[in-house]
Amino acid sequence: MGAQLNHTIVWSRNPAASARFLAGMLGRPPPTRFGHFEVVELDNGVSLDFGQQDGRIAAQHYAFLISEADFDAVLERIHSRNLDHWADPARRRGGEINRNDGGRGVYFPDPDGHFLEVLTRPYGSGG
């Protein structure tokens, strides 16, 4: 068996709210509780386990490869919630999406300042 990412911990001030936010934005089922974590399951068997962190949270970047139809749904959720979003990780192209590698991508923050990205084509895949 090769190495596969199984889960990662996402530190949050309010794990339940942050996990619900991510699940809602990605159109995933509601988070489940495991121990003291709020767990968001992804389609490839990887989970993001939201844990309590008091004080300063070091912002992380989480990127999700999704279908074109799912991208439309996420972008609609971004617009309906009036969330800031950018076409680039440097946050220079506000209110835009990118079309890298023949797909589409967008960046937006979660409630704790983690930088979320959805994209429809992996980087370097051409197009």
Instruction: Give yes or no for a contact between 44 and 37, defined as CB atoms under 8 angstroms apart.
Output: no
Query: Which residue from 58, 57, 23, 73 is spatially nearest to 43, judged by alpha carbons?
Result: 23
The single-letter code of the amino acid at 116 is L
Query: Which residue from 117, 111, 109, 116 is spatially nearest to 13, judged by alpha carbons?
Result: 111
Q: Which two tokens stand for residue 41?
A: 């399951």
Class for the domain spanning 6-52: alpha beta
pLDDT in tens, 57-103: 999 999 999 999 999 999 999 999 999 999 999 999 999 999 999 99
Q: Does residue 38 register a pLDDT over 70?
A: yes
Neighbours of 10 (CB within 10 A): 24
Q: Does residue 104 register a pLDDT over 80?
A: yes
What's the fold here for domain 60-127? 2,3-Dihydroxybiphenyl 1,2-Dioxygenase; domain 1 (3.10.180)
Q: Which residue carries 């090769």 as its tokens?
A: 2
CATH 3.10.180.10 residue ranges of the chain are 60-127
Q: Percentage of the chain with pLDDT > 70? A: 98
Is this prediction's pTM over 0.85? yes
Q: Which residues pair with 12 in a beta bridge?
A: 52
Q: Which residue carries 């970047």 as its tokens?
A: 61
CATH 3.30.720.120 residue ranges of the chain are 6-52
